[in-house]
Amino acid sequence: MEPDKAAPLDPLTKVALESLKDIAVPQPVSWMPQTWGWALAAILLALAVTIVLIRWVRHYRANAYRREALLLLDGLEKDLNGTATRDQALRALAAILKRVAIAGWSRAEVAGLSGSAWVAFLNEHGEGGHALNALLDDGEYQKDSNAGTLASSDILAAARTWIRRHHVSA
């Protein structure tokens, strides 16, 4: 007998095999929730994620002036350490602080402040620190001020701290 050739089937087996039907495959399982509670939970979760994302984007955009001011301070660091450019850099630092305050509050409220009123404003709305108080109270726009004796790192650290942490009420 040849191995490739199968034995003939008897007629009864042949009829039985022809009457068989394919196995019924069940419908694929749906990813949609079966109850309204899960659908509601999914909608609420999507809504919460959307609200959090919108608030984060608004917060990020609202603090763009802080990031810009911190970049400007990074550029002033070299000038503050140099003896020839220190006075000019100190005036630029005071101007950056004023610009940050104007961006956070109204121009009418901030633009006219100088001296001890300006220092009081900075301390009221954030941590000014001793270095900023000495720099700004001594005369931020005076040519010969005592600010030259302050350490550059202290002034920059105090300015960065105030820019990062000042609080603007809504």
What are the structural domain ranges in the chain?
Answer: 64-165
Provide mean pLDDT across the span 56-75: 93
Q: Average per-residue pLDDT in the chain?
A: 84
Would you state the pLDDT for residue 86? 83
Please indicate whether residue 56 or residue 77 has the higher confidence score (pLDDT): 56
Provide mean pLDDT across the span 11-22: 87
Rounded to 10 deg, the angle between the 129-137 and 115-125 helix axes is 160
Q: Are 82 and 76 in contact (CB under 8 A)?
A: no
CA distance 55 to 11: 77
Would you state the pLDDT for residue 48? 99
Would you state the pLDDT for residue 141? 52
pLDDT digits (tens, 9 = 90+) for 110-163: 888 888 888 888 888 887 777 777 777 765 555 555 555 677 788 888 899 889
pLDDT band at 17 (very low <50, low <70, confident <90, very high): confident
Would you state the pLDDT for residue 72? 93
Provide mean pLDDT across the span 16-32: 86
Would you state the pLDDT for residue 147? 55
Q: Which residues contact 168 (CB under 8 A, 6 or more apart)?
A: 104, 105, 125
Would you state the pLDDT for residue 144? 55
Report residue 67 CA to chain centroid gap. 10
By CB atoms closer than 10 A (0-12, 13-18, 19+), residue 140 is buried
- pTM for the structure as a whole: 0.69
